Amino acid sequence: MRTLVVFTAISNALIATAYNAIRLGDTTCVDLDDSIHARLKDYGISSIPIRVNGDKTWEERDSEFARVAMPGSLDFNFPGLELPIWKVLSLDRFSFWNRGIQSDSEYNAIMALNWD
């Protein structure tokens, strides 16, 4: 069985998981960012860089987050702020990980890897 380790960020836990998977063999590591790729080299981990054009404005990212994570009408203002509640909620940590079409493209690129 092949193991896939996808680095969207660097953490001690993920590095340890990658080392264990590599030690067991048949492991493929991929990264989604140049700075992550460079850090993995420092750790002695060889990874396949996957880069997808994902330049978006914060408004586009927030709108996608609202569509994916908060369906329904959230166009009223948050008490004490001049922002619609969906914009306030989209500042949550989850919005950091939502990249919409970019995530789909990265997933397709990963799945296109030759697993043989």
* Residue ranges of domains in the chain: 1-54+99-116, 56-98
Q: Which CATH class is domain 1-54+99-116?
A: alpha beta
Residue 74 in this model has a pLDDT that exceeds 60: no
Give residue 49's identity as a one-letter amino acid code: P
Q: How far apart are CA 62 and CA 100, in angstroms?
A: 10
pLDDT of residue 60: 77
16-23 — which CB contacts under 8 Å span 24+ positions? Answer: 18/45, 19/45
Specify the pLDDT at position 78: 55
Give the residue-averaged pLDDT of 87-95.
53
Question: Does residue 96 have a pLDDT over 70?
Answer: no
What pLDDT was estimated at residue 93? 45
DSSP state letter for 62: H
Q: What b/e readout covers 70-94, taking b as 16+ CB neighbours within 10 angstroms?
A: eeeeeeeeeeeeeebbbbebbeeee
What integer is the mean pLDDT of 12-32?
91
Question: Is the pTM higher than 0.85?
Answer: no
Model confidence at 25: pLDDT above 50: yes
Match 């690129």 to its residue by tokens.
Answer: 109
Mean of pLDDT values over 48-53: 83
